[in-house]
Every structure is written in structure tokens, then in C-alpha cells.
């Protein structure tokens, strides 16, 4: 199944400038894996060396934060849009 | 370099005065051009750090997602963020650095002294990853109305 992932500005240099990348997958996790397979240099931007999503990388499925759904196991359907949203905060 | 219209520059500075003694925050929409960040619009955000708004800020992720969508719809990008430092210098703090993750974007800081906007500085988050990121001082070019109109042509 194909769906799209919305890439934030700082990461578009790793997707050849694309803001929306079409990927395949049945879950949020597999869709992100598909994204990294298409654009391998994104891996270290999104994941730690241990393979965990970096703490500041937030993932939304349409309008919902996947942490409040089934996280990486959240099921996706065609035409869903996943958004990667790096957090913004400071002091 | 950060290039911003005078009206937008004043908007972000006034925002810091309005929220004093608490921090304000917001996003800068625009374009990356020739290694510079050119601001087309300033989007005010709410500081969700209700526990200590005097020296911390946070933009709600849903608000950030909406801004990201707005930018896409308008053919713009998020090119930076701004916040204020009430009664504190316009220099990035260790917290600012630790929480900065938008590589290549500008982080604009306005010192607000006793309620009045003082110095505004901008720092670009340079580097290619979390491991080698660094905040580097950058010039701010404030365009007059005439200059911004000629930039659009």
C-alpha cells in the first residue's frame, strides 16, 4: 500500500528536496523503514545507533501523534499522510 | 544570513514585549536562498511551558504541524524560529542548544529588558547531524518596505 510522508525542511536535503515522499507499508514503522530504504542518509537523522527513533523526532499520522495511538505498530491505510515533526523548545 | 522585512522584524520583537516577563515564541516562514534564510512571514505561537514561562519555551507539536502544513500550502518552508529572553542577554543558552534540532534553520533571540525589546540576535543551526550541530552567529538584514518590494520583483 502506498502513502506519503511529509518531510520537514531540515531533512529535505536528504530526500533530494522532496517535501512529500511516497512510501509503502502497512504500519507507521514499516512506512518509515520504506522511507529510510529510499533515502538511506535519513537513517542517522531519525534513529539512534541503537535503532530507536530519536527523542526529538515526533511522528504524526494525519492529525494524531502516534505515541497516543499504537506507536510504530499503528496501522496505516492508503492516502494517509505521515508527518515528521522535530520538536522546538528552549530556554 | 537572515533576511527579514522590517514589519516582520518588528512583529517578533513586539511579541516579546507583549508576553514579558514571559518568553514568547514563533516560527519564521520563507525560503532558503543562496545559503540565506529569507523570511516571508512571522507566525506567532503560544509558549506552552506554563510551569516556567519566564525562562523556557515550547511550541505545541500540533501547532507546529499546522504551521508546517500552512508553509507547504503557501509554497514556503519553515526557515527558523524566534523566542525572547526576558531580562537576559540575546545569546543562546545551553537549553536552547540542547533543544535545537532544525538544522540549517535560524534561531532568533530578542532580549527584552524591563519590558522593552533590546538586542535581537540570530543564530543558524549549522552542521549535518545531532552529533556535530552548532549554533553560529549570523547577520540579520532588515529590509525596508521598498527593499522588500524589490526583492519580490
Question: What domain range is B16 assigned to?
Answer: 2-140
Contact criterion met (CB below 8 Å) for B119 and B108:
no
User: How is chain A split among helix, strand and coil, in percent rounded to 5?
Assistant: 35, 30, 35
Q: Which CATH number covers residue B88? A: 3.40.140.10
**A63 contacts in B (CB within 8 Å)?**
62, 65
**A86 contacts in B (CB within 8 Å)?**
101-102
Residue A56 has its nearest CB partner, among B32, B77, B101, at B101
Tell me whether residue B151 is in a domain: no
pLDDT tens, residue by residue, A43-58: 999 999 999 999 999 9
**Distance between terminal CA atoms of chain A?**
42
Residues of A with CB under 8 A from a CB of B: 6, 8-10, 12-13, 19, 44-45, 54, 56, 58, 60, 63, 65, 83, 85-91
Q: Taking 80 as the threshold, does the pLDDT of residue B97 lie above it?
A: yes
What number of helices (H) and strands (E) belong to chain B?
Answer: 4, 9
pLDDT tens, residue by residue, B42-92: 999 999 999 999 999 999 999 999 999 999 999 999 999 999 999 999 999
Q: Taking 90 as the threshold, does the pLDDT of residue B135 lie above it?
A: yes
Q: Taking 90 as the threshold, does the pLDDT of residue B153 lie above it?
A: no
- CATH match of A2-86 with 3.10.20.30: yes
Report the distance separating Cα B105 and Cα B37, nearest Å: 8
Q: For chain B, what is the domain count?
A: 1
Contact criterion met (CB below 8 Å) for B63 and B78:
no
Amino acid at each position: 500500500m502506498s502513502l506519503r510522508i511529509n518531510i520537514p525542511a531540515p531533512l529535505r536535503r536528504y530526500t533530494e528536496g522532496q517535501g512529500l515522499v511516497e512510501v509503502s507499508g502497512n504500519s507507521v514503522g514499516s512506512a518509515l523503514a520504506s522511507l529510510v530504504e529510499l533515502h538511506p542518509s535519513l537513517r542517522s537523522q531519525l534513529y539512534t545507533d541503537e535503532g530507536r527513533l530519536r527523542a526529538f523526532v515526533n511522528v504524526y499520522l494525519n492529525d494524531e501523534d502516534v505515541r497516543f495511538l499504537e506507536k510504530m505498530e499503528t496501522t496505516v491505510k492508503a492516502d494517509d499522510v505521515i508527518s515528521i515533526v522535530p520538536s522546538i523548545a528552549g530556554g | 544570513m537572515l533576511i527579514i522585512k522590517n514589519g516582520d522584524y518588528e512583529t517578533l520583537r513586539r511579541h516579546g514585549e507583549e508576553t514579558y516577563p514571559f518568553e514568547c515564541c514563533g516560527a519564521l516562514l520563507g525560503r532558503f536562498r543562496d545559503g540565506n534564510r529569507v523570511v516571508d512571514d512571522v507566525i506567532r505561537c503560544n509558549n506552552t511551558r506554563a510551569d516556567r514561562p519566564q525562562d523556557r519555551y515550547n511550541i505545541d507539536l500540533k501547532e507546529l504541524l499546522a504551521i508546517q502544513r500552512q508553509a507547504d500550502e503557501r509554497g514556503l518552508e519553515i526557515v527558523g524560529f524566534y523566542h525572547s529572553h526576558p531580562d537576559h542577554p540575546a545569546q543562546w543558552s545551553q537549553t536552547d542548544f540542547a533543544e535545537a534540532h532544525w538544522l540549517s534553520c535560524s534561531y532568533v533571540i530578542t532580549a527584552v529588558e524591563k519590558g522593552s525589546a533590546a538586542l535581537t540576535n540570530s543564530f543558524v543551526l549549522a552542521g549535518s547531524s545531532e552529533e556535530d550541530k552548532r549554533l553560529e552567529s549570523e547577520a540579520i538584514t532588515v529590509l525596508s518596505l521598498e527593499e522588500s518590494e524589490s526583492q519580490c520583483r
